[in-house]
Amino acid sequence: MNKLICKNFTEFKTHEGKSLPVGEWLTVTQEMINAFAEATQDFQWVHVDLERIKKESPFKKPIAHGFLSVSLLSKMLMDLIQIESLAMGVNYGLNKVRFPHPVLVDSRLRLHSSIQMIEPYAENGLKITWDCSVEIDSIDKPACVAEFVSLMFEG
């Protein structure tokens, strides 16, 4: 897998405004959907009721929670970058989020992203705004489009 590797924040900051490598494919399984339903207590039938889905859903298959797609952004981004001096990172928030296409069970997703903006944060941190688009294999519309904001701190 291609990965952006930087020694420190100084080197990382030179990538502001640039695209990251395209992510690896990740399959969204029913087990992931069920675990997300358990964690969030969102058991809407379109996600977990297989019999009702077959009868009533226009998709005829379970769909992942939209927030499952957005929650994968942290993992997908960290799979694409490595900063050797990084001590920790935390989610800061989202500026814009849309779910243009549902994610059917067993769909393969991958991340297309760029570093929109890097700002200083606290004494040893950065606030990064990432442009993210989660592609669904063989579907024209993305699963999720988001401006994702995170904090990273050097150790």
Tell me the per-residue pLDDT of 43-95, one tens digit each, with 9 for 90 and over. Answer: 999 999 999 999 999 999 999 999 999 999 999 999 999 999 999 999 999 99
Q: How many domains does the chain have?
A: 1
Q: For 143, which DSSP code?
A: S
Cβ pair 93, 149 in contact under 8 A:
yes
Tokens 């929670």 -> residue: 65
Q: Which residues pair with 14 in a beta bridge?
A: none
Q: Which residues contact 10 (CB under 8 A, 6 or more apart)?
A: none
* 125 DSSP β-pair partners: 121, 153
CATH number at residue 150: 3.10.129.10
- Expressed as residue numbers, the domain containing 30 is 16-154
Whether residue 61 is contained in a domain is answered as: yes
Residue-wise pLDDT for 109-149, tens only, equals 999 999 999 999 999 999 999 999 999 999 999 999 999 99
Specify the pLDDT at position 44: 97
Tell me, yes or no, whether 5 lies in a domain: no
Q: Note whether residue 8 is domain-resident.
A: no
**Domain-located, residue 10:** no
Full-model pTM: 0.94
Q: Give domain status of residue 56, yes or no.
A: yes
Is residue 102 within 8 Å of 57, Cβ to Cβ? no
**3 within a domain of the structure (yes/no):** no
**Of all helices (H) and strands (E), which one includes residue 11?**
helix 9-13
Of 72, 77, 66, nearest to 37 by C-alpha is 66
Q: Which tokens belong to 80?
A: 């694409």
**Residue 9 in domain:** no
For residues 141 and 135, give the distance between their C-alpha atoms in angstroms, rounded to a whole number: 7
Tell me whether residue 1 is in a domain. no
